[in-house]
Amino acid sequence: MTGVLVVTSVVLIYLAICTSYLFLFAIAGRLVKPVEISEKKEKPGYKILVLIPAYKEDNVIVEVAKQALQQYYPQNLYEVAVICDSLKQETILALKALPITVVEVKFSNPTKAKAINATLQPLFGYDLAVVLDADNIMDVQFLEKVSQAFAEGYTIIQGHRIAKNTNTSIAILDAISEEINNHIFRKGHCALGLPAALIGSAMAFDFQFFKQTMASITAVSGFDKELELAILKDRRYIYYAEDALVYDEKVQRIVDFKKQRTRWIAAQLTYLTNNFFSGIIQLFRGNVAYFDKVFQFMLLPRLLLLGLAIGTTLLSVLLQHMPLFVFSSTLVLLLIVSLFLSIPNALLKKISWKEVSAMPALFIQFIFSVLQIRKARYTFLHTPHGEIKQNR
């Protein structure tokens, strides 16, 4: 009995730290107004390169490339470059028929970092580089919004990635997870003066800085985390442009959810083990932002946190231990409040019993994801897009 209580107490301490962290930034995102960019009457004329790496994305990439050409931004000031890796020949021909740059690459072990670096190195003459995923569709004002932020002096800008589809229960829950991340790790962080977290796409950078920094990025998975750590170590700020929207396809099936989360958890564990001690060192050097990022790697996925909190509450009932019950049930309530504070009203309205009933299955998939992270640490696990009819 004593051993069980000790283990449960340790778990609850960890849960309390994680929950307090999430609650702090959830509140900050609601109560503290972040710095906003004022629209200038004279629009800046920055030259922008839009990079779209596409690995086996024949289902979506042609339409994405067409949509990328529909920006309000002057057409002579931006170029769309699609990086083709393992695409079908007919897809490549369709892309070459568009007024875009088509770059063909091939690697034995493909990664997004390799594809971007192969494209970037011979290029020059741009002010900004924008990175999208192969399923991303920019809002027509996206380039205009990031150029305005760049004109204000922000050299690293994370846009607001938002769900393109909510056509299945899994897609709705994935969209909710995305918005919670946006609220806590971007809006909430910027509200308290910390840099926003990068997300891997819908990002804009000073071109020369991006080209130089990317040259040292070798990540198999989660290149944005390695890139973010390099940025934070250099004590640079990442601005969150909440009104610069990019529509992102949400996973629609449990099998794709599992594959995606396995890749993400593997990357998170890799960066935690590789940067734990450097995070502590940077903290003592006054680099709170770098330490904060390393601390984020210590956070379990929120569904696992919630499951553990509920599990310890049920265990406290079985043990008939009132202090543990009060503490654990308080954590459950606090975690639920943190999550609800972070979800936009439009998505809250989409939650029904169908979505709630899908959560136990997702919890189980998270467990399987943790058990299969070894493969994902050394091999890129591709998540297919455009295989199921979507809604906007």
User: pLDDT for 163-188, tens place per residue?
Assistant: 998 888 888 988 999 999 999 999 99
Structure tokens at 289: 């932002």
Q: Is the pLDDT of residue 381 over 60?
A: no
Q: 324-346 b/e with 16+ CB inside 10 Å = b?
A: bbebbbebbebbeebbebbbeee
Chain segment 241-255, per-residue pLDDT in tens: 999 999 999 887 776
**Chain-centroid distance, C-alpha 56:** 21
CATH 3.20.20.450 fits 48-252, yes or no: no
| pLDDT at residue number 254 | 72
CB 373 within 8 A of CB 265: yes
Chain segment 93-150, per-residue pLDDT in tens: 999 999 999 999 998 888 899 999 999 988 999 999 999 999 999 999 999 999 999 9
CB 362 within 8 A of CB 302: no
CB 159 within 8 A of CB 243: no
| pLDDT at residue number 147 | 95
Task: Report long-range pairs for 299-304 (Cβ below 8 Å, ≥24 apart).
Answer: 299/18, 299/21, 299/22, 300/18, 301/261, 301/265, 301/366, 302/22, 302/177, 302/180, 302/335, 302/339, 303/359, 303/362, 303/363, 303/366, 304/363, 304/366, 304/367
CA neighbor of 186 nearest in space, from 242, 141, 142, 103: 242
The angle subtended at Cα 52 by Cα 51 and Cα 57, nearest 5°, is 165
Amino acid identity, position 374 = R
Q: How far apart are CA 104 and CA 112, in angstroms?
A: 13
Q: How far apart are CA 94 and CA 99, in angstroms?
A: 11
3-state secondary structure of 252: coil
Q: How far apart are CA 33 and CA 324, in angstroms?
A: 37
10 Cβ contact partners less than 8 Å away, ≥ 6 residues apart:
none
260 Cβ contact partners less than 8 Å away, ≥ 6 residues apart:
251, 381, 383
Chain segment 52-71, per-residue pLDDT in tens: 999 999 999 999 999 999 99
Q: How far apart are CA 251 and CA 139, in angstroms?
A: 20
Q: In terms of DSSP bridges, do strands 48-55 and 128-131 run parallel, antiparallel, or are they unpaired?
A: parallel
Chain segment 200-226, per-residue pLDDT in tens: 999 999 999 999 999 999 887 788 999
Q: Is the pLDDT of residue 43 over 80?
A: no
| pLDDT at residue number 270 | 85
pLDDT, mean over the chain:
89
Which of 156-160, 221-225, 350-354 is the most confident on average?
156-160
**pTM of structure:** 0.90
Ranges for all domains in the chain classified under CATH 3.90.550.10 = 48-252
More confident residue, 1 or 234: 234
Q: How many CB atoms lie within 10 A of CB 363?
A: 16
* Count of positions (residues) in the chain: 392
